Structure 1
Amino acid sequence: MRKQLYGLCLLGCTSVAHAQTSITLYGRIDNGIQYEGGLPTGGLVSAQSGDWGCSWFGLLGSEDLGGESKLLFRLEGQIDTMTGASEGSLFGRRATVSLENVRYGTFTLGNLGASELSQDSWAVDPQAMQRYSVVTLVRARNWAMASNGLAYETPAWAGLTLKGQYDLTNNTSWNKATTSTGQGRSDGLEAIYHYGDAHLRVIYDEIRGPNGSFNDVYAHSRSVLAAGRYVFGAVQLYAGYQHLSAPNATNASVGVADSSQPAGVSAPSRVDHEWLGAFWRVNVETGLTAAIYHSHANHGNGNATLYTLGSTYLLSKRTFLYAETGYLHNGATSNIGLSSGPYGNNDYDQASNIASNSNPDYGHSQFGVFAGIMTQF
């Protein structure tokens, strides 16, 4: 009996192996050096993994089901290649199974992770979501993650593609997370349109806090983003606008004390974010990017403006060098930092030279520069 079971197991494994048409190992490694000044504790030189983009590895599997249909699976994890440590869970960036059909589109189920729709804003960001980019003035809101997800993407219809996502909490309260530190229900819709040299995106997404409400404009909020790019020969022009809304935000819900805020300032419930930029392909190897980002937050939080200049140099089809500099100017009651830190005072203690986060003092600016190498496999 044991031999019969063993034989059946071998037969099953063999069948699966023959049905699987391909498995691809892929990933990228990004290592560099960075300097940032204007920190509450002074200037800092550091070695960094992921200034241009996160380092990750993944497995992509594909099985031909016939009838123009495929089954796809993707497992993807993020790593700090300066220390070798996993950033988050092993496959925290993605763990999904998809059914894809040429005529009917793609349905996906699982941990959507970094494919949460707000992350698609990289495609209409002049700095392509580097460290100083469309994420900075919204304190990393556009790096949102999504688990327990369902997603659908249409095929392209005359240049138009639609996406939809819905992420369950696995809780009987429906909108609330199963733990006090988890993410509440999230969902979103996206429209992508290509016409000649124009590329347009509109993204709407909702991410609720653990209690099911929109209680932190930079983390648990509604976001509407409309942006695009247009190609003129060797130059691409970019423009975009994003509106964030969190009507339930209070100082308590974002974890700051009233006494730590400047007079007349409290947790924002609305942020407006705009940007303009251009990318110039100087030659086959070299690209230059310049961009300006601006944000305004209500409830007395004021304005912040980020000026950036970046460059890339291709060493091969898979490897390139990069560099970027950023200058972030805060209004008198704003303290957004280049590191996209959490909302609130840095609580700097002069005696110990320790701060609770890397946000600058209110009204102070920050300057940063980084350079490194990215290789893909």
Structure 2
Amino acid sequence: MSAVYTAGPVEVRAIYDMIRDGNGKFSDIFNFSKEATIGGTYTIGKAKLFAAYENLSAPDAAAGAPTKANHYWLGVNYELTPALTLIGAAYRVNVNHGGGNANLFMAGANYNLSKRTMLYASVGTVQNSATANFSVEATNNNPAPGKNQLGAYTGIVHSF
């Protein structure tokens, strides 16, 4: 379920989503949980500012496993030229029951070669607390708990 409010340079969006496991339970904070998100954008000239908050809840998780996580993020896209957009963002996650917390910082750029073809590049670093092992990307390539990670991505997107 979602709702959107738009007025001039402001857009606010709220989303509520639920994903249950095979037994109908909310058993894993990052896979089978209740999710509530509110965020928005504000455009000022060539800059588009982003901010959001997300709460994840898995009340049926195993004893001692995380049952709640809170995400916060801020970002900006700045149109340097009609073809080149610079991107910067910061993210934070806090997880209960010893899941720890982490910060992710990223910078990047999008370059439009045409209306349908874009080049992109970004670099990011995640800084984990002693008990967290979040990665720059949502994969199974997580660092050891308490370790940091650096990642970079480049590519091309073409729309048909």
| TM-score (structure 1 length as normaliser) | 0.42
1:193 is displaced (CA, Å) by 1.1
Letter in 2 for 1:277: G
- Paired with 1:208 and 1:373, the residues of 2 have a C-alpha distance of 35
- Paired with 1:292 and 1:298, the residues of 2 have a C-alpha distance of 21
Q: Which residue of 2 aligns with 1:328?
A: 126
- Paired with 1:313 and 1:358, the residues of 2 have a C-alpha distance of 28
Between structures 1 and 2, the one with greater helix share: 1
Rg: which structure is higher?
1
Structure 2 residue corresponding to 1:208, chosen from 3, 11, 20: 20
Letter in 2 for 1:333: T
Task: Tell whether 2:94 aligns with 1:311.
Answer: no
Task: Tell whether 2:150 aligns with 1:367.
Answer: yes
Structure 1 residue corresponding to 2:67, chosen from 259, 269, 275: 269
Between structures 1 and 2, the one with greater strand share: 2
Task: Tell whether 2:149 aligns with 1:337.
Answer: no
Aligned residues: 160
Task: Tell whether 2:92 aligns with 1:294.
Answer: yes
- Paired with 2:141 and 2:108, the residues of 1 have a C-alpha distance of 23
Q: Percent identity?
A: 41
After TM superposition, list the pairs within 5 Å mapping 1:244-283 onto structure 2. 244-250=56-62, 266-283=64-81
Task: Tell whether 2:40 aligns with 1:228.
Answer: yes
Letter in 2 for 1:200: V
1:310 is displaced (CA, Å) by 1.1
Task: Tell whether 2:41 aligns with 1:243.
Answer: no
Cα deviation digits, residues 189-222 of structure 1 (max 9, x gap): 1001110111110001111110001000101100
Long gaps (5+) in structure 2: none
- Paired with 2:142 and 2:51, the residues of 1 have a C-alpha distance of 27
- Paired with 2:122 and 2:137, the residues of 1 have a C-alpha distance of 14
1:338 is displaced (CA, Å) by 2.1
- Paired with 2:2 and 2:104, the residues of 1 have a C-alpha distance of 26
Matched residue SS, 2:88: strand
Matched residue SS, 1:358: coil
Structure 1 residue corresponding to 2:7, chosen from 191, 195, 218: 195
How large is the Cα RMSD of the aligned pairs?
1.0
After superposing on structure 2, the runs of 4+ consecutive aligned residues of structure 1 that deviate more than 2 Å are none
Matched residue SS, 1:338: coil
1:339 is displaced (CA, Å) by 2.9
- Paired with 2:99 and 2:133, the residues of 1 have a C-alpha distance of 9
Long gaps (5+) in structure 1: 1-188, 252-265, 342-356
- Paired with 1:286 and 1:300, the residues of 2 have a C-alpha distance of 42
